[in-house]
Chains A and B, each alone.
Chain A
Amino acid sequence: MIRDITIGQYYQTDSVLHRLDPRVKLLGTLLYLVSLFCFHNPAGYAVALLFLILCIRLSHVPFGYMIKGMKGIMMILMITILFNLFLTSGTVLVSFWKITITVEGLKLAITMALRLCMLIIGASLMTLTTTPNHLTDGLEKGLRFLKVIKMPVHEIAMMMAIALRFIPILLEETDKIMKAQLARGADFESGGLVRRAKAMVPLLVPLFVSAFRRANDLAMAMEARCYRGGDGRTKMKPLIYAGRDYAAYLILLAYLVISIFLGRWSVMTELLTSL
């Protein structure tokens, strides 16, 4: 059920992408996502797609595994496509019954679907190849400059790491409690919205109680292991840039240059056609 949503859960293997410094991956992902929204022409999409395919190949994560994780968000994708397909006005392509599909709508639906897919795969590629701990390390070190303005960067990173660690455990727990209440004759599926919301109480109360109990236990376990915040703490896996990280930055720069160029080019062609 809920456990089937594996979107972006770390995939254990060894690849260049896995070994890359998380700061590179964070910045790279950010740049990639931004670039997706800058493109307005097929050439731009082609470059972005090519770049993505290259990264997927480099990651050694099976493509099937990535796609499987996307099942959960298929709904959102379908809705986006349908909305764009039916609700965009413009030149009519086909029209039957009460439904009209326009050329613009079709174009928009395709680009939106493509963009969304690339967005999700691009973002999940980072989490697929980076352990959450590594990721939070990257955030902690990458955002260290925010400490100057009294941002508790270490604490936030630690909270994220813990949250990520406990998500699968709590999901499993939800499943278990749900089954236990089903065995007591609970009904989570029928009835109107209010009734369904009410039916969630026997699920949510035990879940919260359990989450608090776990939080309490964990805090105790952390203190027992001498945890006292970020000061004076050393790192088992300190982040040090290696040659490949600089190379990756270079590649990112190249990608950035190409996308800006293509973006400009599209703006220029638009200008030309409008003239």
Chain B
Amino acid sequence: MAIIVDHLNYIYGQDTEQAVHALQDINLQIPDGQFIGIIGHTGSGKSTLMQHLNGLLKATSGTIYYNGQDIYDEDYKLKDLRSHVGLVFQYPEHQLFEADVFSDVCFGPKNLGLSKKDAELRAFEALRKVGFPEELFYTSPFDLSGGQKRRVAIAGVLAMKPDVLILDEPTAGLDPKGREDILGMVKSLQRESGMTILLVSHSMDDVAEYVDRILVMDHGRIAFDDIPRNVFSHVEELEEMHLAAPQVTYILRDLEKAGIDVDENATTVEEAASTILQAFGIK
């Protein structure tokens, strides 16, 4: 049992007039190896929750257990937590600062107190995992394309060998192929390294395609926590939260209404195609 969030509350700007109850009574269990999608309208509290999971923000009340240990315990070292729970921020390429790609990726492991050799070993491994071409290791990160910069930034977090990887909108601003590449890479990280992945995303289509479980956040609360097809069956409620189901879900609902017998809870193009074909008697 990796992460347990217990009655977590966070009030931003407490004691002021503009106090915002950003997280309200969050309860959550995240077992090892899951791929979880987190969706919610801007300001729904999803980024705030993510920052709690690796100790960047401290809850007003409630607590988080990481591998059974209370992270707010006085003896607990938050720096350790941050090496176990990696957080990749939105537009992570904005945090690159070293003169070359390789040294930038070494920054994380060096901060963990590893020797130069170990740090470099990890950097090498991390860059390989994100599929970054070896011949560009010693170029300046500022000369790279947007998609490549982002890979380097993700490698910078991977080099700390986290067990849990949180990505806040890793595909923002990329072109369609770039989005697909990054998500495919994340999926393979989960499959091959058994990493737990939390993916914050605005794109329902992407989330439906990749994740095992979806958390829907709304006004600082968890509105839904279920497998994709169950979550997306609540189309009306999602729309009230300024969210939507994947396009195919809408198509299937329309078809059902039009009297064609399909499974209206399919969430990916593949699933939708197979249920429609079935309805038309084609295998």
B244 to chain A, nearest CB (A): 28
Q: How far is the CA of A68 from the CA of B16 in the complex (A)?
A: 10
Complex contact B87–A183 (CB within 8 A): yes
Q: Are the CB atoms of B157 and A183 closer together than 8 Å? A: yes
- Neighbouring A residues of B111 by C-beta, 8 Å: 184-187
A183 touches B107 (CB 8 A): no
Q: Which of A45-53, A128-136, A172-180, A242-250 contacts B (4 or more CB under 8 A)?
A: A172-180
Using known A-B contacts A186-B111, A187-B79, A187-B111, determine if residue A181 contacts B160 with beta carbons closer than 8 Å: no
The 0/1 profile, CB within 8 Å of A marked 1, for residues 93-133 of chain B is 01111000000000110011000000000000000000000
Chain B residues closer than 8 Å to A202, beta-carbon distance: 95, 97, 107
Contact A201 B97, beta carbon cutoff 8 Å: yes
State whether A184 and B157 are in contact (beta carbons under 8 Å apart), knowing that A177-B95, A206-B97 are contacts in the complex: yes
Q: Which residue of A lies closest to B56 (CB)?
A: A179
Q: Is B45 an interface residue (CB 8 A)?
A: no
Q: Determine if B56 and A206 form an interchain contact, defined as CB atoms under 8 angstroms apart.
A: no
Give CA–CA (A68, B13) in the complex, Å.
12
Q: Is the interface of B mostly helix, strand, loop or mixed?
A: helix
Q: Pick from A181, A187, A201: contact of B95, CB below 8 A.
A: A181
B9 to chain A, nearest CB (A): 20
User: Is A91 part of the contact surface with B, judged by Cβ < 8 Å?
Assistant: no
Considering the chains assembled together, what is the distance between the CA atoms of A245 and B121 in angstroms?
Answer: 70
Q: Confirm or deny: A205 has a beta carbon within 8 angstroms of a beta carbon on chain B.
A: yes
Contact A183 B79 (CB under 8 A): no
Secondary structure of the A side of the interface?
Answer: helix
A189–B83 CA distance with the chains assembled, in angstroms: 18
Q: Does B230 belong to the interface (CB within 8 Å)?
A: no
Cα distance A181–B94 in the bound complex, in angstroms: 11
Bound Cα distance from A176 to B95, whole angstroms: 9
List the B side residues contacting A181 at CB < 8 Å. Answer: 95
Say which size band chain A's interface belongs to: 10 to 19
A209 within 8 A of B: yes
Expressed in whole angstroms, the minimum distance between the Cβ of B3 and any Cβ of chain A is 16
User: What is the minimal beta-carbon distance from A144 to any residue of chain B, in angstroms?
Assistant: 40
Q: Which residues of B contact A176 (CB under 8 A)?
A: 89, 94
Hey, which chain B residues are within 8 Å of A74, CB to CB? none
Q: Which has the most chain B C-beta neighbours within 10 Å: A173, A183, A187, A210?
A: A183
Q: B220 contacts the other chain (Cβ, under 8 Å)?
A: no
- Chain A residues lying within 8 Å of B87, measured Cβ to Cβ, are 180, 183
Q: Do B56 and A183 touch (CB < 8 A)?
A: yes
**B82 in contact (CB, < 8 A):** yes
- How many Å lie between the Cα of A202 and that of B141 in the bound state? 13
Chain B residues within 8 Å of A209, by CB: 94, 97, 142
Residues of B within 8 A of A201 (CB): 97
Q: Which residues of A sit under 8 angstroms from B51, Cβ to Cβ? A: 179
Q: Is A182 an interface residue (CB 8 A)?
A: yes
Tell me the complex Cα distance, A179–B160, Å.
16
* A177–B56 CB distance below 8 A: no
Question: Which residues of chain A have C-beta atoms less than 8 A from B54's C-beta?
Answer: 183
Instruction: Render B74-96 as a binary contact track against A, CB cut-off 8 A, 1 for contact.
Output: 00000100110011010010111
Nearest-neighbour CB distance to chain B for A93, whole angstroms, equals: 37
Q: Is B228 an interface residue (CB 8 A)?
A: no
Question: B16: shortest Cβ distance to chain A, in Å?
Answer: 8
A187 cross-chain contacts in B, Cβ below 8 A:
79, 111
Query: Quick one: which of B26-63 are within 8 Å of A by CB?
Result: 51, 54, 56
A68 CA to B15 CA, complexed, in Å: 12
- The answer to whether A206 touches B79 (Cβ under 8 A) is no
Q: What residues of A have a CB within 8 angstroms of the CB of B79 in the complex?
A: 185, 187
Q: Is the CB of A185 within 8 A of B97?
A: no
Looking at B82, B83, B97, B142, the one whose CB has the most chain A CB atoms below 10 A away is: B97
Q: Chain A residues near B112 (CB, 8 Å)?
A: 185
Per the bound structure, the CA–CA distance linking A205 and B96 in Å amounts to: 8
- Across-interface contacts of A177 in B (CB, < 8 A): 94-95
Chain B residues with a Cβ under 8 A of chain A = 16, 51, 54, 56, 79, 82-83, 86-87, 89, 92, 94-97, 107-108, 111-112, 142, 156-157, 160
Q: Given A180-B94, A206-B97, 4 more contacts at CB 8 Å? A: A182-B56, A184-B157, A187-B111, A202-B95
Please, could you name 13 A-B residue pairs with CB atoms under 8 Å apart, sorted by A?
A179-B89, A180-B89, A180-B95, A181-B95, A183-B86, A183-B87, A184-B82, A184-B108, A185-B111, A185-B112, A186-B107, A201-B97, A206-B94
Query: What 3 pairs across the A-B complex have the smallest Cβ distances?
Result: A185-B111, A205-B97, A180-B95
